[in-house]
Structure 1
Amino acid sequence: MTERPETLVIGAGQAGLSTAYHLQARGREALVVDASDRVGDTWRRHYDSLRLFTPRRIIGLPGSPFPGDRKSVPTKDEVADYLAAYAARHGLAVRTGVTVERVVRHDDGFRADTTDGPIHADHVVVATGKAWHPRVPSFASELGDDIVQLHSADYQRPSQLSAGRVLVVGAAVSGGDIAVETSRTHPTTLCGRVTGHMPFRSNGPLTPLIPFIGNRLLSMRSPLGRRYRAAERDHGQPLPVELVRSIRGIPDDRLEWTDDRVVGVQDGLPMTASGRVLDVANVIWCTGYRHDYTWIEPLVTDDAGWPEQVDGAATGSPGLFFVGLPFQSAYGSGFLYGVGRDAAKVAAQIDRGV
């Protein structure tokens, strides 16, 4: 049978659940579907040691503060469990194990073709974030067969690695954090340009400023925010100052950090832009993800392939919305502390019949 909820929300992460919460608060029906088996599984799949850098006191979703010591930072599994409890506590209609393969405009709304059959809806909210397609350079296939290669999406723990030096490619937050961990068991080289860092500790006395900076100062409504958005989308997020200090505090013979980029392969080994050939036994690609929205028809995207949208409403496609895009309306859009603001804007537009 074909279902027809008023709004179909694709993705049961923080973006999708926040949107369903705000729609429910306005008395509007929403069905949330997610390809994972459980709510929060996207977080559970991250590497074992992952902890947030921001404390619980600023990361709760609308209607539910994050439990536990408000000054402590949660693990990735605690975030996953929080999301599952959030959906249950607010009675959100969530269906897991459902993959959306295509969304097309149909009659006076949309049809989503899913692994559980077609779903028709008046509105569709895409809350899949970056779309999570790991990106590695084309020359990765030229590395020697004896080199262990993992993308950060597949890295879980150092025991996955063989004996010998580890090369971590990409010095954004995940790359820096993973390099610190691998340096405890393997000599490690971290290659990547410094993306900048926060001017103060993310879990310190100035922590309350983070939502103001991320949601208001660095927003699309300010010239500073618009300039910062281009840099953030192209080069990644700035590093927490705590992470920078951790990296620099490790002896060079355990962790070498260089901005010399990995650009190719020579004799089966990675080679940098300066011509240096790195004798390594493992490579962890912390090179981000590619976004793919070709499964949505029609959709207007910009030159970089991001959906064109204003306050979450897709350009040229009434009834189609986005929540959780990196820097959707502000720097905080992709984070737990900021996604609720964008979700509230989208729910308000749906309630008004935009």
Structure 2
Amino acid sequence: MNEMLDTIIIGGGQAGLASGYYLQKNEVAFLILEAGNQVGGSWPSYYDSLKLFSPAIFSSMPGMNFPGEPNRYPQRDEVIRYLQDYKIQFQLPVMGNQRVESVKKNEEGFTIRTMAGDTFRARTIINATGSFNNPFIPKIAGEELFEGNIVHSSNYRNPEPFLNQRVLVVGGGNSAVQIADELANLSHTTLAVRQPIKFVKQRLWGKDLHFWLKLIGFDTFPFWRLGKTAPTTTAVNDSNRYKERVMAGKPDQQPMFTSIYEGGVIWPNGIKESVDTIIYATGYRPRFSYLQGIGALDKDGMPLHKAGISEIPGIYYVGLEGQRSFSSATLRGVGPDAKFVVKKLLHYLEYAK
């Protein structure tokens, strides 16, 4: 493309679509580049049984309510359909199969090259890729010796392949517990945790936890104004029977193993145990390697920004965890962040003119 656009959005998930919504409202010339073949970002790659931790009423993006009964907890495929419908509803320009390979800065703005061999030009860039494309697996002594299976939760789909296996799920967050809970129906499953799992009630006095977080202002409190990243939590929302099941040992939880040997793991008490599969539900890390050459990242590859505004003029972020508030990077949180960032971007474009 030889046309100079006002903005290129990198990523066609919830953060990219919310950013597109506000750019569209302001009649900005933009394009969304999505690495996959459809909108939805990481959602099509999540495990089959994934259920939102927030009810539909607290899972909407700007301009379009999440459909259906407002107090239910939508499934993964419902979120995928919602994002696809969102793109259609607002006629957002998305180009699929365009994973960004490099970004170069020049006097006019930026030149973006993709792995498909295409080149795009834009005055500004909104990075909205999230971190799902960079799964994190901690280094454990002896892991290279293990003869079983090591899987990250990003590659887990359902429990059937693990029938009658001895499985360890590493992690103490919502995804780890959801995965271990369904595996425990078909396999001998243990949650390996650094700290005992903390459960919080999903509903208090008849209202979902997110109602109270919003009511007291914690969900959207602007921690960035204090020069801080919004806090995160590993507490597990006990919307089903998770705490009861874990307390009953199906699955059980054990302190994190200290090392790995050929046939399994070694627990802190020195006991060896044979294991078939280790599933790491240990989250993700942002990866913006295509920005490394223009000084937008620190030595660890993390974005240098404040509330989504990069230290490099013309570069912005939406969808980073804790970017502006506790709800940043969630379906309910990307809208306010996108609105804030687009406002700053519009001022920059006016100034740049």
TM-score scaled to structure 2, two decimals?
A: 0.89
Distance change >3 Å, CA 311–CA 227, structure 1 → 2: closer
Give matches, 1:34-49, under 5 Å: 34-40=34-40, 42-49=42-49
Match of 2:224 among 202, 220, 223: 220
Question: Per-residue deviation at 1:72?
Answer: 0.8
Q: Which residue of 2 aligns with 1:332?
A: 327
Q: CA deviation at 1:250?
A: 4.5
Once the two structures are superposed, what CA deviation does each residue of 1:45-79 show, in whole Å capped at 9, x if it has no partner? 11111111211111110000001111111111110
- For the Cα contact (< 8 Å) 1:220–1:329, is it kept in 2? yes
Provide closer, same or farther for how the CA distance between residues 336 and 349 of structure 1 changes in structure 2, counting only shifts above 3 A.
same
> 2:238 is matched with which residue?
241
CA contact (8 A) 1:219 1:330 kept: yes
Task: Report if aligned partners of 2:164, 2:186 keep a CA contact under 8 Å in 1.
Answer: no
Determine whether 1:210 maps to 2:213.
yes
State yes or no: 1:272 paired with 2:267.
yes
Q: Aligned runs of 1:124-135 on 2, under 5 Å?
A: 124-135=125-136
Kindly report which structure 2 residues correspond to 1:1-354, keeping only aligned pairs within 5 A, or say none. 1-40=1-40, 42-114=42-114, 115-139=116-140, 141-145=143-147, 147-192=148-193, 193-194=195-196, 196-198=198-200, 200-201=202-203, 204-206=206-208, 207-211=210-214, 213-217=217-221, 219-221=223-225, 226=228, 229=231, 232=232, 237-242=234-239, 245-250=241-246, 252-258=248-254, 260-296=255-291, 297-302=293-298, 305-315=301-311, 317-353=312-348
State the secondary structure of the residue aligned to 1:108. coil
- Counterpart residue identity of residue 311, structure 1: A
Are 1:299 and 1:314, in contact at CA under 8 Å, matched by a contact in 2?
A: no
Aligned-pair CA distance for 1:125: 0.3
State the shift of 1:24 in Å.
1.1
Instruction: Give distance in 2, aligned partners of 1:263 and 1:218.
Output: 39
The farther-off stretch of 25-34 and 277-286 is 277-286
Q: 1:97 Cα deviation (Å)?
A: 1.1
The amino acid across from 1:35 in the alignment is A
The residue matched to 1:283 in structure 2 has which SS?
strand
CA contact (8 A) 2:230 2:322 kept: no
Alpha-carbon spacing, 1:60–1:227, altered in 2? closer, same or farther (3 Å): closer
- Check whether the contact 2:264–2:276 (CA below 8 A) recurs between aligned residues: no
Indicate how the Cα distance of structure 1 residues 169 and 54 shifts in structure 2: closer, same or farther if over 3 A, else same. Answer: same
**For residues 154 and 228 of structure 1, do their structure 2 counterparts lie closer, same or farther at Cα, with a shift above 3 Å needed?**
same
Cα deviation digits, residues 163-217 of structure 1 (max 9, x gap): 2221101111111110111011112110112464446538951442334545434
Label 1:248 to 1:199 Cα distance change in 2 as closer, same or farther (>3 A).
closer
Q: Is the 8 A contact 1:313 1:322 kept in 2?
A: yes
CA shift digits 1:265-322 (9 cap, x unpaired): 134312234434332222111122233222113234356542121221101x100000
1:334, CA displacement in angstroms? Answer: 1.1
Q: 1:34 to 1:293 in 2, by over 3 A?
A: same
What do residues 76-112 of structure 1 show as CA deviations (whole Å, max 9, x unaligned)?
Answer: 1110110011011001111111111111212220011
3-state SS of paired residue (2:316)? strand
Could you tell which deviates more after superposition, 7-16 or 123-132?
123-132
| TM-score, structure 1 normalization | 0.88
- Residue type at the aligned position of 2:310: A
Distance 1:53 1:202 in 2: 15
- Alpha-carbon separation, structure 2, partners of 1:334 and 1:324: 4
* Letter paired with 1:312: G
Distance 2:35 2:174 in 1: 26
- Name the SS for the 2:70 alignment partner: coil
Q: Distance in 2 between matches of 1:249 and 1:131?
A: 28
Cα pair distance change 1:214/1:295, threshold 3 Å? farther
2:150 aligns to what SS in structure 1? strand
User: How many Å separate the matches in 2 of 1:249 and 1:82?
Assistant: 32
| Distance verdict in 2 for CA 1:208–1:52, change over 3 Å | same
Go from structure 1 to structure 2 and tell me whether the alpha carbon gap of 1:190 and 1:216 turns closer, same or farther (over 3 Å shift): same
Q: Counterpart of 1:323 in structure 2: which amino acid?
A: V
- 1:242 CA drift (Å): 2.7
1:6 is paired with a residue whose SS is strand
Alpha-carbon deviation of 1:134? 1.7
Instruction: Find the aligned partners of 1:6 and 1:353 in 2 and give their Cα distance.
Output: 11
CA distance in 2, matches of 1:265, 1:283: 10
CA gap of 1:105–1:227, structure 2 versus 1, over 3 A, is closer
Identity %: 29
